[in-house]
Structure 1
Amino acid sequence: MTPASGDRANPRWHTAAMSTPEPLAYSAAWAEAWNAHDIEAVLAHFHDDVVFTSPTAARVVPSSGGVVLGKQALREYWTEGLRLVPDLHFTVERVFAGVGVLVITYRNQGGGLVDEVLVFADGLVVEGHGTYLVSEGR
């Protein structure tokens, strides 16, 4: 149910609970933390019970099926990811803001175009989704 349909009892739809940080400052700090390979700085913006999905997670942690549950599991996934990709580097291309949502479009070290979709509640990321550009013929 969406807020328009009247589900005001669900705190997730409460506008105060959906506050997002300033988009450009957040995305700059996000890229800086990733490029420094400072996982703790990235995780500082995530809720303990975060849900994160990514096709890369499915490859790095096959047992996850691409769904990482909780901050500690996210820490383990990203630590392994950095071990596997020691030259990881992100360049922010665009930033989109919605109600309780930021989307950071970036290029990775291989030139791949990626969108990181981040859903916020009370200023912390409660859901994150790594999404990758689909090329024709895939």
Structure 2
Amino acid sequence: MNFLSRKDLENHATTWIEAWNRHDVDAVITPFSKSVVFVSPRAAIVTGDATVRGRDALYDYWTKALAAVPDLEFGLESITCDENAQTVLVHYVSHAGGKTLRACELMRFENGLQVYGEAFYGADVAEPSQ
């Protein structure tokens, strides 16, 4: 069994943010299990279902979603890890399509691979005036 340390979980979160900011879906999907389940209200907009099952389907979803928001950028706010539960919660700010919102993603791992993910989105955040 491949048990991820707190440092491993934190590294996953920062690598995940960096991969999204490069728009590198291949790098984002690499740590996912072939049988991953991902839940997001945004998935329903692209796929017709809020639950995406399987790594290939998740790759297809993210590729299509990213094409619709080529200006996507995430700003990391915080990382919360539970080593015993093999989970990490990534709190970030998403900038895309002229909108800014706070979001969190819950990630659960088994044997070193992500087997579950769930995205949570808050309301739009007002941009600070410059």
Cross-structure match for 1:59: 45
For 1:74-113, what aligned pairs fall within 5 Å after superposition? 74-98=58-82, 99-109=85-95, 110-113=99-102
Separation in 1, partners of 2:110, 2:59: 20
Number of residue pairs aligned between Structure 1 and Structure 2: 118
Tell me what 1:34 maps to. Answer: 20
Corresponding residue for 1:11? none
CA contact (8 A) 2:9 2:87 kept: no
Q: What runs of 5+ residues in structure 2 fail to find an aligned partner?
A: 125-130
The corresponding residue for 1:115 is 104
2:100 aligned counterpart, secondary structure: coil
Distance 1:122 1:33, change over 3 A: same
Distance in 2 of aligned mates of 1:27 and 1:91: 12
Structure 1 residue runs without a partner (length 5+)? 1-15
Contact 1:48–1:70, Cα closer than 8 Å, also in 2: yes
The structure number with the bigger radius of gyration is 1
| Alpha-carbon distance, 1:134 to partner | 5.9
Alpha carbons 1:23, 1:96 under 8 Å: kept: no
Tell me which residue corresponds to 1:12. Answer: none
Cα deviation code 1:40-92 (max 9, x no counterpart): 10111100000000000011111xx2000000000000000011111111111
How big is the alpha-carbon RMSD for the aligned residues of Structure 1 and Structure 2?
1.7
**TM-score, normalised with respect to structure 1:** 0.79
